[in-house]
Chain A
Amino acid sequence: MQQEPWTTGESSAPVRQETVREDAPPVIELRNVDKHFGELHVLKNINLSVKRGEVVVIVGPSGSGKSTLCRTINRLETIDSGDIFIEGRHMPEEGKELSALRSEIGMVFQSFNLFAHKTILDNVTIGPVEVLGRKKKEARAEAMELLKRVGVDSQAGKVPAQLSGGQQQRVAIARSLAMHPKAMLFDEPTSALDPEMINEVLDVMTELARQGMTMVIVTHEMNFARRVADRIIFMADGNIVEENTPEEFFMNPRSDRLKDFLESLNRK
């Protein structure tokens, strides 16, 4: 079995090392994506390209469409028009091929969404066993390795309801990693957590970023964004209003919308 970089546990490099591959085709590409919720135009002609190893953080006021955009990438949200490509392959609207492409993109939700009736260990093995057809024993061994990596291996036999929010979210990350995804989507992964549990999840994500995982993260944690992002995208009213490197994004905002947004954060 091929050893993935994030399973080796080495952790000496800075967060934003040169992991971005400029030459490879983009892992995720959205072209002219449009979506309405009834009258509401939630995504307006969105174009987004995420390179291999790149960490893209999406921020913006609530209702700006950032969560919808994140969920659109693996088509958990339907779109009205536009195209989605995973490593250059077109993502169809339904069928086996869609499922296959989804299995290559990990997803972490705001509300964890661990399978409530399964143990922690089974939550992590169900993907590899049921989707990838891996042997149960093999999958279990790797799942324990991943659970250890995120620090919840001692809880393997419990059910999700017996774990704290922070622990559940780390299990959710392990569950995604078990699929050896090409990229991971994080839809407000810490928004449902008690303050003291936010960091334990952000630490795991920071580690992933450093090990070269391609990530798209929707978050309100600005310090975290500044630290791990290669690029920050600001969304408002269904548009990508501005995108830039973290330094430029926070130090030299160009649009009034972003200036207002950053100011409102400072007032808090």
Chain B
Amino acid sequence: MSEKKPEIPASFENARTKTAGKAAAAPKPLSIRDALYEPPGPKTRKRTAIATGISLSALAVLILLVIRQFYITGQLAPKYWTFFARKTTWKFLGKGLLGTLEAAALAGVLAFVMGFLMMLGRISRRRILRAVGTGIVEFTRGVPTLLFIYFFFLVVPRSGIKLAAIWKIATPVAISAAGVVAEVLRSGVNAVPKGQTEAALSLGMQHGKIFRKIVFPQAFRYITPALIAELVIVVKDTTFSYVVNFPDLMQNAKVLISNYDALVQIYFVTAVVYILINYLLNRISVTVADRTGTTL
């Protein structure tokens, strides 16, 4: 009997000193490429270098060919470019950019709210709500954005509802994105380990509170990058603004084109602006992903 008596530590202090300072430092997040592929060997590196060289030269040749073609057809003539030196040109494009950002922001918020509600339906414990949620999600994902826009431009006004132009573009774009947002949110919620819910249940928390305090905050961190990627699509969808006569970047670019008769040049500049916006959004998404990688 006596040999079974354990030596009892004087207090928990023992446990403390044993692992003091032994806490694992937060590991540097591994990039997807590092995690999935083995690092290239010398032969692969050589082959990669050759392929890179060939494709870069090919790209350079292609660009030169395009410029040459523009030169031959006279697109590089000064009259097609000098108006970019005018302040009014940029002011007008800037107004359009503001319109794009406004419409995209409004559509983004609407899409998130609608997507969130649809997700709640999808994950509901009631079968009817689940079925309704699934139906709406499939509907909004399946119908082309332009169809929703025509609906808001042509059908809705006929029923006597007067909407400002920005709502006519932001609402249909948002509806179109909401289904995807709902599915992204749902995947995030499903990715939260079940143990998190079980621990909260064992503390006596109820389902609604668990979702608000434990599950959703974690899910949101997982999916922030995917949500921002969806915002890029929303930004691009707002180029349909010309349908409803909302002055976004694309619409104003069209006006400039008809004024200066410089289609290639103005679309080129407009494209660069869109690329910059979306590049910026992607940078934000990468930064957010890196940061949440260390805290979760």
Contacts and interface: CB of A to CB of B under 8 A. Distances in A.
A36 to B, nearest CB: 20
B14 interface: yes
Given A115-B214, A116-B218, A246-B4, A154 B296 contact: no
Given A126-B203, A161-B294, A227-B5, 15 more contacts: A15-B8, A74-B202, A76-B202, A99-B201, A101-B204, A113-B196, A117-B218, A130-B213, A162-B24, A175-B199, A179-B203, A200-B18, A206-B6, A207-B9, A226-B4
B199 A150 contact: no
Interface stretch (A21-29, A134-142, A163-171, A255-263): A163-171
22 contacts: A9-B11, A11-B9, A11-B11, A99-B204, A103-B204, A107-B202, A111-B193, A112-B195, A113-B196, A115-B196, A117-B217, A117-B221, A117-B295, A127-B205, A149-B12, A150-B15, A151-B15, A151-B19, A162-B24, A164-B23, A223-B6, A246-B4
A247 interface: yes
A145 B221 CA distance: 31
B22 A164 contact: yes
B33 interface: no
Interface of B: 1, 4-6, 8-20, 22-26, 193, 195-196, 198-206, 209, 213-214, 217-218, 221, 294-296
A158 interface: yes
B24 A164 contact: yes
A162 B23 contact: yes
A175 B202 CA distance: 11
A96 interface: yes
A176 B17 CA distance: 22
Contact of A102 (B16, B23, B204, B218): B204
3 A-B pairs with least C-beta separation: A103-B204, A151-B16, A107-B202
Interface string A234-268: 00000000000011000000000000000000000
Contacts of B19: 151, 164, 166-167, 197, 200
Contacts of A172: 199
Given A11-B11, A226-B4, A175 B203 contact: yes
A126 B213 CA distance: 9
Contacts of A159: 295
Contacts of B209: 130
A216 B203 CA distance: 17
B204 A131 contact: yes
B199 A107 contact: yes
Contacts of B205: 99, 127, 130-131
Contacts of A226: 4
Contacts of A176: 202-203
Interface of A: 9, 11, 14-15, 74, 76, 96, 99-107, 109, 111-117, 126-127, 130-131, 149-152, 154-155, 158-159, 161-164, 166-167, 170, 172, 175-176, 179, 185, 197, 199-201, 203-204, 206-207, 210, 223, 226-227, 246-247
Q: Which of A104, A127, A175: most chain B CB closer than 10 A? A: A127
Nearest to A149: B12
A161 B12 contact: no
A117 B15 contact: no
Nearest to B194: A113
A113 B198 contact: yes
Given A102-B201, A107-B199, A117-B296, A96 B206 contact: yes
A49 B147 CA distance: 65
A20 to B, nearest CB: 18
A104 to B, nearest CB: 8
A163 B24 contact: yes
Contacts of A111: 193, 195
A14 B5 contact: yes
A67 B11 CA distance: 29
A172 B18 CA distance: 18
A163 B15 contact: no
B199 A102 contact: no
A11 B204 contact: no
A227 B295 contact: no
Contact of B15 (A99, A127, A204, A223): A204
A102 B197 CA distance: 13
Contacts of A175: 199, 203
A98 to B, nearest CB: 9
Contact of A161 (B26, B201, B206, B221): B26
Contacts of B294: 161
Contacts of B15: 150-151, 166, 170, 199-201, 203-204
B8 A206 contact: yes
Given A151-B15, A175-B203, A11 B8 contact: yes
Contacts of B16: 151-152
A163 B209 CA distance: 26
A76 B9 contact: no
A166 B202 CA distance: 20
Nearest to A111: B195
Contacts of B18: 199-200
